[in-house]
Amino acid sequence: MSSKSAHTIIIGAGPAGLACATALARAGREVLVLERLPAAGPKTCAGGIPSAALDPDLPPELLERSFNQQRIITASQNFHLREARPIICTVNRQRLGSWMQGQAEAAGAMVLGGVRARQIQAQTVHTDQGDFRYRYLVGADGSNSLVRRHLGLPLELAGVGINYQIRGHFEEMEWHLDPHRFGSGYAWIFPHRESASVGVYAFNRGRGSGGLHDRFRSWAEERGLSLGGSKPRASLISFDYRGARFGNILLAGDAAGLASGLTGEGIAAAIFSGRAAAAAILAEDGRSPDLGTLLPRHARHRALACFTARRPFGGRLLLETLTLALRWRLLNHAALEISRSNR
């Protein structure tokens, strides 16, 4: 089989890969995105994006809901965090993926669906549809990244997210911090237009993820939430960042371990790091992607998640204190998020 080639090959048509592809194609580079699924979009995800990190180009009709307030519940607190402006909104990942794929293709990138990368060798990606040669390779292939494995980078710090998409109208966006069940993680209710994502995120160091599902179900039962007809979907969320450039191979999004260890959010970081990878390639001087304030934020979230896993009692106290600081406005929630100015 003859091999095809491109200036940059991106493995993965998630938010990281498509943001990278759009930026490179707009700058006139030949870009090929290889995606194992037929098209971009289907991804186990609650779809919450902090408003401060929202892409200004995102058409408003892509937003499912947006919220000026959030309900936060811990062992000893139950309150609303309110702002005059939206704090967070929800998106449907299928619609976001289709829109981002459209943007990348309109810019001139080629997105090849149904192509699974199997192996990487010098300058070549071997797939089930033939070989592809590259000058630059971007691993945007999520938490189980083949590109990351090819680079020999271990994956030690990852949480697990479990999502149920439940039909019906839900009024409030809710965060339930329940350290006995979820450690430094939380269960959530993120309303969409005609459904809600109800799920859990936890960094399970030392605890089995099978047990997490049971603990989540008992939490849902206590609240009278019927998970009935909906199917659970689970996935890893990597926050094991170990660099974003390795010669002519770059990593972005979950493949680089850039999701938050504390909240499990990674959409904004994926888009931001995908664009940063494109900028580093365009500079042609071997520089690493400029991840701005994403890295210090990532390090804070990682430290909190690891501390809570190592010292459950101290971690519980710390989470209660941080929540109290949010409630009393001693800590601005925006300080915990990536803002648009970083994107």
Options 8, 23, 142, 323; binder of ligand FAD; rule CB under 6 A:
142
- For residue 257, state whether it binds ligand FAD (rule: CB under 6 A): no
Residue 297: closest CA among 329, 330, 341? 341
- For residue 266, state whether it binds ligand FAD (rule: CB under 6 A): yes
Span 29-58, contacts to ligand FAD by CB under 6 A: 34-37, 43-49
- Give whichever of 261 and 316 is closer to ligand FAD, judged by the CB atom: 261
> What is the closest distance, in whole angstroms, from the C-beta atom of residue 245 to ligand FAD in the complex?
16
Kindly report the number of other CB atoms within 10 A of residue 291's CB atom: 23
> What is the closest distance, in whole angstroms, from the C-beta atom of residue 44 to ligand FAD in the complex?
5
97: amino acid identity, one letter: G
C-alpha to C-alpha distance for 33 and 17, rounded to whole angstroms: 7
26 Cβ partners below 8 Å, 6+ apart?
107, 108
Options 8, 9, 10, 17; binder of ligand FAD; rule CB under 6 A:
17
Whether the Cβ atoms of residue 173 and residue 88 lie closer than 8 Å to each other: yes
- For residue 23, state whether it binds ligand FAD (rule: CB under 6 A): no
Span 151-180, contacts to ligand FAD by CB under 6 A: 161-163
Task: Kindly indicate which of the ranges 77-85, 262-270, 276-284, 299-307 contains the residues binding ligand FAD, using the contact rule CB under 6 A.
Answer: 262-270
> What is the closest distance, in whole angstroms, from the C-beta atom of residue 107 to ligand FAD in the complex?
17
C-alpha to C-alpha distance for 37 and 338, rounded to whole angstroms: 29
Options 14, 183, 257, 289; binder of ligand FAD; rule CB under 6 A:
14
Residue that is written with structure tokens 């459904």 in the block: 195
Helix (H) or strand (E) holding 111: strand 110-113
- For residue 289, state whether it binds ligand FAD (rule: CB under 6 A): no
- For residue 146, state whether it binds ligand FAD (rule: CB under 6 A): yes
Options 22, 51, 74, 235; binder of ligand FAD; rule CB under 6 A:
235
Options 87, 254, 298, 315; binder of ligand FAD; rule CB under 6 A:
254
C-alpha to C-alpha distance for 289 and 307, rounded to whole angstroms: 28
Span 122-141, contacts to ligand FAD by CB under 6 A: 140-141
Strands of 116-173 (E only): list them.
117-121, 124-127, 130-139, 158-167
Options 265, 326, 338, 343; binder of ligand FAD; rule CB under 6 A:
265
* Bridge partners, 111 (sequence order): 33
- Give whichever of 139 and 316 is closer to ligand FAD, judged by the CB atom: 139
Options 6, 9, 10, 11; binder of ligand FAD; rule CB under 6 A:
11
Strands of the chain (E only): list them.
4-11, 31-35, 48-50, 63-67, 69-73, 78-82, 88-91, 110-113, 117-121, 124-127, 130-139, 158-167, 174-176, 186-191, 195-202, 233-238, 245-246, 249-251
Helix (H) or strand (E) holding 215: helix 209-222
Options 12, 179, 257, 261; binder of ligand FAD; rule CB under 6 A:
12
Span 199-218, contacts to ligand FAD by CB under 6 A: 199
- Give whichever of 38 and 286 is closer to ligand FAD, judged by the CB atom: 38
- Give whichever of 237 and 319 is closer to ligand FAD, judged by the CB atom: 237
Long-range pairs of 215-220 with CB within 8 A, sequence gap ≥ 24: 215/181, 215/182, 216/162, 216/181, 216/182, 216/187, 218/181, 219/176, 219/178, 219/181, 219/187, 220/187
Q: Which residues bind ligand FAD (CB under 6 A)?
A: 11-17, 34-37, 43-49, 116-117, 140-142, 146, 161-163, 199, 235, 237, 253-255, 259, 264-268, 270
